C-alpha cells in the first residue's frame, strides 16, 4: 500500500469531492455504523458474561467502573473529534502540511492525556472506588476490573478510538470501522475463554478485564500497523517530531471542537446516572427495567451517531473548500438517512418491545414494566438523532462554541432538570417521558440556532 500522495490522496479527494453524495455518505457511514453496533454489543457482552457467574457483587463491581471507562471515551473525543474535524477542513483548504502536524499533535495529546488518566486511576484507586460507591463486598471486584480496563488498557483504548477517528478524517472509514469492529469481536470471543477457562472460579471479573484490555491492545496494534503501511513522505497520517507543533490557530481549533465533545460525552453519562438514581427511589423492578431499556435504546442511537460521524469529514472538507452545494447535499442526504433509520427503529421497538426485553431477562414483571418504558423512550429516537446531527454539523464547521452551547443546553437545561421535574409530577413514568420532552425542546433550539448561523455564514448559498 502506498502513501497519501498517490492512492490515499486520490481516495479522499474522490470521496470528498467527486463521488456521488449518497455513495460518499454510505461509504463513510456504513463501516462507522457497524463498528458502533459492535462496540455496543461488546459493552453488553461484558455485563452478560459476568452475569453468568450469578454473583451480584461481581456484577455491581463491573458496573461501578462504567463512569470511569466513559471518561476514556471522552478523552478520545478531545483529541480525535477535535483533531479529525480540523484535518478534514485543512484538507479542504489544501493545507496538507498543517494537517500532518495536527495529526501528530492529536496522537501525542491522546497518549499524554490517557497516560495521565491511567496513572491517576492507579494512584487514587481506593478513594475513587469509594467515591463510586464500592463497599466491602464490591471493592475487590471493582478495583481488579479497573486495574485491567483503565490502568493497563487506558492508553490503547483511547489511542485506538483516536486513530480510528483520524483515519476517518482522511476518508479511510473502512479501515477505521474494521479496526473498532475487530477489537469488539475479539473481546466478545475472549470474554468466556478468559473468564471460565483460563482464570479460576471467583476471578471471572479479572478475566473479563484482561480480555477487554487485550482486545483493545490488539485493535491499537492494528491501527498503528495500518498507518505505518500508509506512511510516505507526503502522507497526512505520518508522525512529525513532537516539537513540530501546528500553528496556534490549529491547536486552538482542536480544543474548540474537542472540549465540547469531551464535555458532551460526560454529560450524556451524567444523564444516565441521574435516571438510575431517581428510578432507584421506586421498586427494584423499575430500576432493573429502566437499566435494560437504557441499553436497548442505544441500538438506534448508535446507528444515528455512526451516520453523523461518517457525514462530518465530508461536511468539514467541503465547508473549508467553499463547496457549499456539495456540503448541503451531504447534509440533506445524511439527515434523510438518519431520520429513516430512526423511524424504522420506532416502529420495530413499538412492535417488538416485549420480545426485546425477554432477551435480557425472563422475569414477567420486569418485562412488562420495561416494555412500557421502552415504547415510550423510543419515541425520542428521531429527536435524539436531530440533536446529535446539529452538534456534528457545527463540529464539522469548526464551531465548537455552538456545539458546546447546544450540548450544555440539552443536558443541563433540558434533560436533567426535566428528569427531576417530571419525576416530581408524574413519578417513575415521568422519568421515562422526560427524554422526548427534553429532546423536542433541544431540537427546536438547535434548528433556531442553526438557521441563524446558516443565514449569516452562507448568505449567497442555497441552503434549502
What is the residue-wise DSSP string for 144-158?
HHHIIIIIITHHHHH
- The strand ranges marked E within 302-455 are none
* Predicted confidence (pLDDT) per residue in 119-129, tens digit: 999 999 888 88
Collapsing DSSP states into helix, strand and coil, what is residue 207?
Answer: helix
In this structure, the dihedral spanned by the alpha carbons of residues 228, 232, 234 and 239, taken in order and rounded to 10 degrees, is 40
User: Are 395 and 312 a contacting pair, CB within 8 Å?
Assistant: yes
Q: What is the pLDDT of residue 10?
A: 45
The x, y and z cell numbers of residue 8, run together, are 490515499
Query: Which has more confidence, 218 or 271?
Result: 218
User: Are 378 and 300 a contacting pair, CB within 8 Å?
Assistant: yes
Render the burial of 418-442: b for 16+ CB within 10 Å, e for the rest.
bbeebbeeeebebbbbbbbbbbbbb
Q: Kindly list the distances between the CA atom of residue 9 and the CA atoms of 17, 104, 171, 267, in Å, as whole numbers in the listed order.
A: 12, 18, 9, 37
In the predicted model, is pLDDT for residue 422 greater than 80? Answer: yes
Q: What is the pLDDT of residue 176?
A: 86
Q: Kindly list the distances between the CA atom of residue 41 and the CA atoms of 155, 189, 295, 341, in Å, as whole numbers in the listed order.
A: 22, 12, 10, 19
Question: How far is the C-alpha of 361 from the C-alpha of 28, rounded, in Å?
Answer: 36
222 CB contacts (<8 Å, ≥6 apart)? 179, 182, 183
Give the CB-side neighbour count of residue 53, counting CA atoms within 13 A. Answer: 27
Note the maximum CA span of the chain. 68
In the predicted model, is pLDDT for residue 42 greater than 90? Answer: no
In the predicted model, is pLDDT for residue 109 greater than 90? Answer: yes
* Predicted confidence (pLDDT) per residue in 352-395, tens digit: 988 888 876 677 887 888 899 899 999 999 999 999 899 999 98
Query: Which has more confidence, 36 or 246?
Result: 246
In the predicted model, is pLDDT for residue 7 greater than 60? Answer: no
Q: What is the pLDDT of residue 461?
A: 52
Grid cell 465533545 is found at 261
- In sign, the C-alpha dihedral spanning 38, 43, 44, 45 is positive
Percent of the chain whose predicted confidence (pLDDT) is above 90:
29
Question: How far is the C-alpha of 157 from the C-alpha of 76, rounded, in Å?
Answer: 8
* Predicted confidence (pLDDT) per residue in 394-413, tens digit: 988 988 889 889 988 988 99
- The strand ranges marked E within 245-347 are none
Q: What is the pLDDT of residue 228?
A: 84
User: Are 200 and 138 a contacting pair, CB within 8 Å?
Assistant: no
Grid cell 440556532 is found at 449
Question: How far is the C-alpha of 360 from the C-alpha of 378, rounded, in Å?
Answer: 17
Query: Mean pLDDT over residues 153-178, rounded?
Result: 88
In the predicted model, is pLDDT for residue 286 greater than 60? Answer: yes
Backbone angles phi, psi at 2, to 5 degrees: -100, 175
Question: How far is the C-alpha of 74 from the C-alpha of 53, rounded, in Å?
Answer: 30
Element (H, E) at 406: helix 400-408
Does the pTM exceed 0.85? no
Question: How far is the C-alpha of 250 from the C-alpha of 96, rounded, in Å?
Answer: 13
Q: Kindly list the distances between the CA atom of residue 358 and the CA atoms of 289, 292, 353, in Å, as whole numbers in the listed order.
A: 11, 10, 9
Backbone angles phi, psi at 258, to 5 degrees: -70, -40
Question: How far is the C-alpha of 154 from the C-alpha of 158, rounded, in Å?
Answer: 6
Query: Mean pLDDT over residues 246-254, rounded?
Result: 89
Amino acid at each position: 500500500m502506498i502513501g497519501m500522495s498517490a492512492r490515499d490522496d486520490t481516495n479522499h479527494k474522490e470521496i470528498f469531492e467527486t463521488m456521488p453524495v449518497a455513495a460518499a455518505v454510505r461509504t463513510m457511514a456504513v463501516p462507522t455504523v457497524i463498528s458502533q453496533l459492535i462496540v455496543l454489543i461488546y459493552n453488553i457482552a461484558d455485563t452478560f458474561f459476568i452475569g453468568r457467574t450469578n454473583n451480584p457483587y461481581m456484577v455491581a463491581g463491573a458496573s461501578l467502573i462504567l463512569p470511569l471507562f466513559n471518561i476514556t471515551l471522552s478523552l478520545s473525543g478531545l483529541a480525535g473529534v477535535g483533531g479529525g474535524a480540523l484535518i478534514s477542513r485543512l484538507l479542504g483548504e489544501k493545507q496538507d502540511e498543517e494537517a500532518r502536524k495536527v495529526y501528530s499533535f492529536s496522537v501525542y495529546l491522546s497518549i499524554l492525556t490517557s497516560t495521565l488518566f491511567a496513572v491517576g486511576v492507579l494512584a487514587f484507586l481506593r478513594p475513587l472506588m469509594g467515591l463510586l460507591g464500592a463497599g466491602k463486598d464490591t471493592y475487590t471486584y471493582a478495583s481488579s476490573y479497573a486495574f485491567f480496563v483503565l490502568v493497563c488498557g487506558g492508553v490503547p483504548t483511547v489511542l485506538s478510538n483516536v486513530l480510528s477517528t483520524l483515519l476517518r478524517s482522511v476518508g479511510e472509514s473502512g479501515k477505521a470501522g474494521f479496526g473498532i469492529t475487530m477489537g469488539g469481536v475479539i473481546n466478545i470471543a475472549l470474554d468466556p475463554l478468559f473468564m471460565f477457562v483460563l482464570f479460576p472460579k471467583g476471578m471471572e471479573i479479572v478475566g473479563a478485564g484482561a480480555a477487554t484490555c487485550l482486545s483493545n491492545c490488539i485493535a491499537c496494534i492494528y491501527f498503528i500497523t495500518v498507518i505505518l503501511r500508509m506512511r510516505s513522505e507526503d502522507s497526512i497520517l505520518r508522525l512529525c517530531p513532537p516539537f513540530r507543533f501546528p500553528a496556534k490557530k490549529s491547536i486552538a481549533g482542536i480544543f474548540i471542537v474537542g472540549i465540547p465533545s469531551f464535555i458532551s460525552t460526560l454529560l450524556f453519562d451524567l444523564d444516565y446516572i441521574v435516571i438510575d438514581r431517581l428510578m432507584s427511589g421506586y421498586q427494584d423492578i423499575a430500576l432493573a427495567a429502566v437499566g435494560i431499556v437504557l441499553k436497548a435504546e442505544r441500538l438506534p442511537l448508535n446507528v444515528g451517531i455512526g451516520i453523523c460521524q461518517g457525514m462530518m469529514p465530508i461536511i468539514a472538507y467541503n465547508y473549508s473548500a467553499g463547496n457549499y452545494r456539495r456540503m448541503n447535499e451531504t447534509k440533506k442526504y445524511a439527515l434523510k438517512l438518519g431520520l429513516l433509520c430512526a423511524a424504522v427503529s420506532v416502529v420495530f421497538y413499538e412492535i417488538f418491545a416485549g420480545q426485546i426485553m425477554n432477551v435480557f431477562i425472563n422475569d414477567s414483571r420486569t418485562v412488562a414494566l420495561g416494555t412500557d418504558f421502552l415504547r415510550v423512550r423510543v419515541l425520542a429516537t428521531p429527536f435524539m438523532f436531530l440533536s446529535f446531527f446539529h452538534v456534528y454539523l457545527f463540529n464539522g464547521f469548526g464551531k465548537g462554541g455552538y456545539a458546546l452551547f447546544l450540548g450544555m443546553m440539552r443536558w443541563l437545561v433540558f434533560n436533567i432538570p426535566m428528569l427531576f421535574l417530571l419525576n416530581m409530577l408524574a413519578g417513575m413514568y415521568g422519568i421515562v417521558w422526560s427524554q422526548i420532552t427534553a429532546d423536542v425542546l433541544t431540537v427546536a433550539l438547535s434548528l433556531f440556532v442553526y438557521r441563524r448561523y446558516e443565514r449569516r455564514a452562507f448568505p449567497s448559498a442555497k441552503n434549502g
